[in-house]
Amino acid sequence: MLTACCLLALCCSPGAISLLLRSRRVDGGNDRPILGTDLSEDKCSVKFCHVVQADELTHWNPAIVLPELHNRLYGWHNCITYKKALQYSVLVGIVGILAQETDFESFQKFGSSYIAASYVKFIESAGARVVPIRLNRSDEEYNKIFYSINGILYPGGGVDLKTSEFSRVAKIFYRKALEANERGDYFPVWGTCLGHQLLSYLTCGENLLTWTNTDNFAFPLNFTKDAKGTKMFADFPDDLLQEMASDPVTSNFHFWSLSVQNFTNNEKLRSFYKVLTTNVHGNIEFISTMEAYAYPVYGVQWHPEKNPFEWNNRTGIPHSRSAMRVTYYIADFLVNEAQKSNHQFSSKKEEAEALIYNFNPVFTGRFSSFDQAYFFD
């Protein structure tokens, strides 16, 4: 069940109300931010509070809840301030995706860094927007971006974990995220493939990867006993979890992996992350899914974004219905994590200038494993 609460101000000057629309699970699930208001006391007179309950919703859905609020709070829908609040202040999450150097020669003519478009589509498919985090910016700019976005995704790729600019910038946001979460400022961090490996390096300070030659494979997942009741898989239907354990629904394109042995032997990793799934290739068992015990930090060695959004003729990308459902639930989880963050841009103008919409993707499917990519200088 969702409970949405709206404080109705009958006497407000335009611009005095800034609704921060959120939701909170009240059925024993994970907490999510609630619907609240920012009412300037010298300009507004709060009259009453109305509660809307959307019993059939699992997550916040503005397309359903907003019309309900609109209908029940009759009279207020004629208020200019109300219309402006709905138009400008509905926060549904903005996720930053970190760019990385164009290590492919075929990419270098388009720009010095890139983001595969499938990651952008992955985030947008769950109702959030994307801000590209570009390389070689100042610490001041990165700090400003951190407090403007609601989470960060480290994508897959092929650059060095220790020496790349990708790794340097990732470390800045990783440290800021841990510090913010420690003081109650919720900020999720997600790593996919290389990003997953990077999280292990940022956590323990060592490159503990092992050669597994797991490029272009679709695998089922071996769930550990710790996977039950974890945040990442909490809302997955039982039938889908069973399919994930039996069917090859995860896309793997990596030559290196974090082995279970190296993970277990490293105290920093062992105490920071809970292992949710593993896979075995050859004679090596490696970590394929993990989440932090005390922080909203998550890593997957596989590629949930590829299933619906990469169509290169590769056997390692499953396009089954079950594979598509996996992508949907992972994206939904990540975006809902981002919706717990209260970070926001200082103005709509600044927000608009930062969004990925300012860049056009390039069709790269003829010479790359990515169908499309965004490029940056």
b/e burial code for range 99-126 (CB count within 10 A of at least 16 → b):
bbbbebeebeebbbbbbbbbbbbbbebb
CB 98 within 8 Å of CB 152: yes
- Cα dihedral value 184, 127, 120, 122, nearest 10: 100
Asked whether residue 170 is domain-assigned, the answer is: yes
Say what the pLDDT of residue 229 is.
85
Q: Which of 196, 254, 303, 343 is catalytic?
A: 303
pLDDT level of residue 79 (50, 70, 90 thresholds): very low
Other residues' Cβ atoms within 10 Å of the Cβ of residue 77 = 12
User: Is 6 designated active site?
Assistant: no
Burial classification of residue 133, based on how many CB atoms lie within 10 Å of its CB (0-12 exposed, 13-18 middle, 19 or more buried): buried
* Whether residue 78 sits in one domain with residue 153: no
Say what the pLDDT of residue 119 is.
98
pLDDT level of residue 140 (50, 70, 90 thresholds): very high
The residue-averaged pLDDT of 283-297 equals 97
28 vs 114, more confident: 114
317 vs 52, more confident: 317
CB 9 within 8 Å of CB 46: yes
37 vs 103, more confident: 103
Asked whether residue 309 is domain-assigned, the answer is: yes
Which parts of 117-208 are beta strand (E)? 129-133, 152-154, 189-192
* Whether residue 328 sits in one domain with residue 197: yes
Asked whether residue 377 is domain-assigned, the answer is: no
* Predicted confidence (pLDDT) at residue 31 exceeds the cutoff of 60: no
The residue-averaged pLDDT of 264-279 equals 98
Q: Which of 88, 111, 131 is the last residue of a domain?
A: 88
SS3 content of the chain, % helix, strand, coil (to 5): 35, 30, 40
* Predicted confidence (pLDDT) at residue 160 exceeds the cutoff of 60: yes
* Predicted confidence (pLDDT) at residue 13 exceeds the cutoff of 70: no
Say what the pLDDT of residue 314 is.
83
Q: Which of 193, 204, 254, 343 is catalytic?
A: 193
Domain residues for the domain of 47 are 2-88
pLDDT level of residue 318 (50, 70, 90 thresholds): very high
The residue-averaged pLDDT of 306-329 equals 95
d(CA 128, CA 330): 13
User: Is 70 designated active site?
Assistant: no
β partners of residue 53 = 3
Q: How does pLDDT run across 178-203, given as a tens digit for each residue?
A: 999 999 999 999 999 999 999 999 99
Helix H or strand E segment including 69: helix 62-72
Asked whether residue 376 is domain-assigned, the answer is: no
Length of the chain: 377
Say what the pLDDT of residue 50 is.
34
Say what the pLDDT of residue 63 is.
40
What is the model's pTM?
0.78
> What's the CATH number where 312 sits?
3.40.50.880
Sequence-distant contacts of 88-91: CB under 8 A, at least 24 apart = 88/348, 89/18, 89/19, 89/20, 89/21, 90/19, 90/21, 90/62, 90/66, 91/20, 91/21, 91/22, 91/150, 91/339, 91/344
Q: How does pLDDT run across 323-350, given as a tens digit for each residue?
A: 999 999 999 999 999 999 999 999 999 9
* Whether residue 124 sits in one domain with residue 69: no
In the chain, the percentage of residues whose pLDDT exceeds 90 is 71
Say what the pLDDT of residue 91 is.
52
* Whether residue 238 sits in one domain with residue 188: yes
* Predicted confidence (pLDDT) at residue 243 exceeds the cutoff of 80: yes
Structure tokens at 105: 């020669």
Say what the pLDDT of residue 226 is.
86
The total of structural domains in the chain comes to: 2
pLDDT level of residue 83 (50, 70, 90 thresholds): very low
* Whether residue 103 sits in one domain with residue 51: no
* Whether residue 354 sits in one domain with residue 208: yes
For the packed helices 139-146 and 165-182, what is the interaxial angle rounded to 10 degrees?
50
CB 152 within 8 Å of CB 96: yes
Say what the pLDDT of residue 104 is.
78
31 vs 268, more confident: 268
Contacts of 224 (CB under 8 A, 6+ apart): 275, 276, 277, 278
* Predicted confidence (pLDDT) at residue 34 exceeds the cutoff of 70: no
d(CA 366, CA 255): 23
* Whether residue 106 sits in one domain with residue 69: no
Structure tokens at 325: 């459902």
92 vs 313, more confident: 313
d(CA 204, CA 136): 24
Asked whether residue 38 is domain-assigned, the answer is: yes
